[in-house]
Amino acid sequence: MAAVQAALRAAAAAAAAAAAAVAGEQAGALHPAQITAAIRYCSTAEQLVVLIQQHVGSMDVRHLATAKMMLSRLRCRQPQAYAACVQHFAQFATADTPRNLSNVVYALCKAPAFNRQEHQAALQQQLMPASICHLSAANAQDISNVLYGMAFSGQQLQGHQMQQLMAAFADVRQQAKPQEVSNTLWAVATMGQQVPAAQLQQLLTAFVGVLQHAVPQDFSNTLWAVATMGQQMSSQQLQQLDDALAGTLQRASPQHVANTLWACAQLQFLPKRLLAAPGLAGLLQAGSAQGLANAAWACGQLGHRDEQLIGVVLTEVQQRLTAASSSSNTQALCNTCWAVAVLDLQQHAAQVLQMAQACSSMWSSTTAEEKRQLWQVHTWLLDFQPAGAQGLQGSLTEQQLQQCRAAWDKALQQTARQSGSDFQLSVLAAVHRLPITWQQQPQMEQLSVGSDGATTDGAMLLDITGRTAGGVLVAVEADGPSHFRRPDGGLMGSTQHRNRALAVRCYRLVSVPWFEWAKLQGAEQKQQQKQQQQQQQYLVRLFEQAGVLSPAAA
């Protein structure tokens, strides 16, 4: 009992000293426990600034780290307070612990934006080198905090610094929490860098191992990071994340879900559990216009024809436009229009016209990609609306439509100038060996013709196209991995859209999946003749299925 009473008296004394110090009534030196109590006692930035001014000289590294964290948390806008802590901390930096160093880096990076620039030199010249020197003693949280803080504040790391930090994090990955893994990957992606493939797989394996402790933001940040870095996850890893995330959806924010859908679309993975989750549309509806549009874009990209979700997005975007909400922008509008077109949701054509008209009124902010999206929407409307329809004419001005066409044509020209892949060249050679009489020999990278079967309309650039002696238009598409989603092998949205557009133009489509063609590739020269025979037999079957050849021709 006596020990407890003594502890209470000590705590009361420390609290009294803290209150006096914060009030500026105690100018004498404080002992460490009093400084700690005083920092925690501060409830306003002004109180903390007074404390720092009077007692910074008595603060040790832990006090300085805590003080800077509190300055950031209290949104202090007085740069002198940050500067005083940084200058005093510099005396200890090289001999400090990884935890204190990471806390200081994190606190400075999370400081209000106006202050970050002033601390850049200290971060780059003192704190980062010191942090790297202490990596052998750092744990996962220490390293993650440093990387996350630097990325959050817009800082960059030199290549060798990033390599050292990532190697050290990979070494302690088994002790890392889900947030530490996801924040680390997010930081690397935000800084525009990549993780070496072997390290990435180590970190993803570690993340999957602690999924039961992950929250929606951890899933979202991890997927977003991998997609943004342009790297890959296995279908099994993605499936595990989809299964686990579906169980935490009630704790997810609209942004977490929208970012997850966007990332899955970039990774060509259909998150069936997430998309089937009850209340998904309502959750997204509570988010931003950009988040709604990203969800629609993801559905379009993955060829997921969710009419309820798209309907919610369209209604919400329209309502916000009607309310003149500044949250609607051309990117959100164009992504939504494009998704409707790619998914062939013709019942929403009128809403698409209204959204395109909204784009017309803020045309100066449209990008080349958005103009290409609008041109695809325009051609879709012309293809599938009743005769006499004018597409986006009337929603966009003639000049705006011309700009959309120019952006589309430029992209096709750039693609046409690229050399054909070995896959395409191999398929073309096999097509030429088929028992078909051609009016127009099959050629690569030709523009499509319109529904009249003769006039070039430039809606698509075809891998291989020709016309048989009987006048049949044939499109042979060498469909590589980008045309197929995981895990079910279904066609991506753009590929489904292409197939419908080819049918409208009276093409007989022959799709050659890369994985089927790969089975027919021989490794040895002596197998070449057998390989060609197998390829020809395979193509004959595909041409028969497309109605170009009759079974008798085989």
Count up the domains in the chain and report the number: 2
Judged against a pLDDT cut of 80, whether residue 27 lies above it is answered with no
Residues 432 and 549 placed together within one structural domain of the fold:
yes
The verdict on residue 400 lying in a domain is yes
Residues 440 and 527 placed together within one structural domain of the fold:
yes
Q: What is the mean pLDDT of residues 122-133?
A: 81
Q: What is the pLDDT of residue 477?
A: 98
Residues 123 and 370: their CA atoms lie apart, in Å, by 39
**Residue ranges in 267-329 assigned as alpha helix (H):** 272-275, 280-285, 289-302, 307-322
Judged against a pLDDT cut of 90, whether residue 459 lies above it is answered with yes
Q: What is the pLDDT of residue 20?
A: 55
Pairing, β 473-479 against β 438-449: unpaired
Residues 131 and 94: their CA atoms lie apart, in Å, by 8
Residues 495 and 482: their CA atoms lie apart, in Å, by 9
The verdict on residue 56 lying in a domain is no
* Sign (positive or negative) of CA dihedral 244, 250, 252, 255: positive
pLDDT, the chain, mean: 87
- Contact partners, residue 434, CB within 8 Å, separation at least 6: 536, 539, 540, 543, 549
The verdict on residue 364 lying in a domain is yes
Residues 348 and 380: their CA atoms lie apart, in Å, by 12
- Please give the share of the chain, as a percent, with pLDDT higher than 70: 88
The verdict on residue 305 lying in a domain is no
Residues 389 and 362 placed together within one structural domain of the fold:
yes
Residues 554 and 548: their CA atoms lie apart, in Å, by 12
The verdict on residue 123 lying in a domain is no
Residues 357 and 480 placed together within one structural domain of the fold:
no
The verdict on residue 499 lying in a domain is yes
Q: What is the pLDDT of residue 117?
A: 66
Residues 437 and 409: their CA atoms lie apart, in Å, by 32
Tokens of 144: 């993650």
- Degrees, nearest 5: CA angle 481-498-518: 30
Tokens 């420390």: give the residue: 14
More confident position, 337 or 124: 337
More confident position, 56 or 24: 56
Residues 538 and 472 placed together within one structural domain of the fold:
yes
Of 391, 417, 443, which marks where a domain is finished? 417
Q: Which amino acid is at 159?
A: G
Of 417, 435, 469, which marks where a domain is finished? 417
Give strand pairing partners of 269: 486
Task: Give tens-digit pLDDT for 404-458.
Answer: 999 999 999 999 988 889 999 999 999 999 999 999 999 999 999 988 888 999 9
Residues 408 and 441 placed together within one structural domain of the fold:
no
Task: Give tens-digit pLDDT for 8-24.
Answer: 344 444 445 555 555 54
Residues 403 and 456 placed together within one structural domain of the fold:
no
Residues 325 and 435 placed together within one structural domain of the fold:
no
Q: What is the pLDDT of residue 381?
A: 96
Q: What is the pLDDT of residue 1?
A: 41
Q: What are phi and psi of 269, to 5 degrees?
A: -120, 130
Judged against a pLDDT cut of 90, whether residue 345 lies above it is answered with yes
Q: What is the pLDDT of residue 73?
A: 83
Which of 35-44, 190-199, 316-325, 495-504 bottoms out in mean pLDDT, i.e. has the lowest? 316-325
- Contact partners, residue 205, CB within 8 Å, separation at least 6: none
Residues 512 and 392 placed together within one structural domain of the fold:
no
Boundaries of domain holding 327: 321-417
Residues 484 and 534 placed together within one structural domain of the fold:
yes
Q: What is the pLDDT of residue 77?
A: 81
Q: What is the pLDDT of residue 268?
A: 98
Q: What is the pLDDT of residue 21?
A: 52
Residues 459 and 523 placed together within one structural domain of the fold:
yes
Of 417, 449, 464, which marks where a domain is finished? 417
- List b or e across 230-242, with b for residues whose CB sees 16 or more CB atoms inside 10 angstroms: ebbbeeebbbbbb
Which pLDDT band holds residue 526 (cuts at 50, 70, 90)?
Answer: low
The verdict on residue 405 lying in a domain is yes
- Contact partners, residue 336, CB within 8 Å, separation at least 6: 292, 293, 296, 297, 313, 314, 317, 355
Residues 344 and 443 placed together within one structural domain of the fold:
no
Which of 73-82, 521-530, 532-541 bottoms out in mean pLDDT, i.e. has the lowest? 521-530
Which pLDDT band holds residue 113 (cuts at 50, 70, 90)?
Answer: low
**Residue ranges in 159-268 assigned as alpha helix (H):** 159-171, 178-190, 197-209, 216-228, 235-246, 254-266
- List b or e across 185-222, with b for residues whose CB sees 16 or more CB atoms inside 10 angstroms: bbbbbbbebbbeeebbbbbbebbbebbeebebbbbbbb
- Tally of CA atoms within 13 A in the half-sphere of 63 that contains its CB: 24
Which of 22-36, 46-60, 364-378, 506-520 bottoms out in mean pLDDT, i.e. has the lowest? 22-36
Judged against a pLDDT cut of 90, whether residue 486 lies above it is answered with yes
More confident position, 29 or 178: 178
Q: What is the pLDDT of residue 12?
A: 47
Asked whether the beta carbons of 410 and 419 are under 8 A apart, the reply is no
The verdict on residue 515 lying in a domain is yes
Task: Give tens-digit pLDDT for 274-326.
Answer: 999 988 999 999 998 889 999 999 999 999 998 888 898 888 887 776 565 45
Residues 356 and 349: their CA atoms lie apart, in Å, by 11
More confident position, 156 or 101: 156
Q: What is the pLDDT of residue 84?
A: 82
